[in-house]
Amino acid sequence: MIDKKPVQTYLAVVAITIAGLYVVHSLDISYPLSMRTSSASTELSVVGEGEVDAVPDIAQVGVGIQVANVPTAEEAQNQIAQVNNDLIKAMTSLGIDKKDLVTSNYSVFPGYSAENSRISSYNGNATVTIKVRNMEKLASVITAATNSGTNQVQGISFSIDDPSQFREAARKEAIADARAQAEKLAKDLDIKLGKVVNVIESQSGGGPIPYYAKSADFMTAETVESPIIEPGTQTVTSTVTLFFEKR
């Protein structure tokens, strides 16, 4: 008598295989299929923040030189050069180094008559940026700049010359904050903290912050009273993520 069980088993395997291929095809499943398992995390990560307020010790002042309705382009250039030279003399007399004076946006261009569209005059402008390293001289610098012939104060920005010490202080605060949070969390979760295995840090602050004021026109002023300008403070921040081993 022939044993039919092997044949039946074979037919069952073939049927299951065909059915499985049909399901894969109908559901548009790509293969080979893969499975990935992950073990429980062995680390605890916490984020700490720290911040330090610092008074800026650098100021950058932008002043403008403008000439208008000048008969020739050469005359426009000469007038700009004269004011620029007077400005440099005034700044160096206040102890400003020439390397801290930068002339930019220099241009001379014609003006046209509204009647016949012909050139009727010439205009020109230039911008001089003054870096002030002694904040006590800031008001005197602005006054001297306007008295030397510049007719616009275009803006002032403040920054910290060396923010590294403040960043270090903010970092220490952030690390202490992260450790305190980790210890509290470990106590609440009834776990023990191991060593720090990784650190991620991000920092901000200490860069130039503009002092926004309307551009002032001093074309008709003979003398200008020294302005009172306060740099305020800048906040240097540090955010630290500490990764602790869990025991």
Give residue limits of the domains in the chain: 43-53+164-204+240-246, 56-161+209-229
**By the 8 A CB rule, do 210 and 234 touch?**
no
Quick check: 122 and 75 in contact, CB under 8 A? yes
CATH class of 56-161+209-229: alpha beta
The enclosing H or E element of 147 equals: helix 138-147
Q: How many CB atoms lie within 10 A of CB 9?
A: 10
> Which residues lie below 8 Å from residue 145, measured CB to CB, with a gap of 6+?
61, 63, 87, 90, 91, 128, 130, 153
Question: Of 48, 65, 104, which is closest to residue 237 (Cα–Cα)?
Answer: 48
Q: What is the pLDDT along the chain (247 residues), one digit of tens a residue?
A: 545 555 455 455 445 555 554 544 454 444 333 333 334 568 889 999 999 999 999 999 999 999 999 999 999 999 999 999 999 999 999 999 999 999 999 999 999 988 888 999 999 999 999 999 999 999 999 999 999 999 988 889 999 999 899 999 999 999 999 999 999 999 999 999 999 999 999 877 666 555 544 444 443 444 456 667 788 889 999 999 999 998 8
Q: Which helix (H) or strand (E) holds 119?
A: strand 119-132
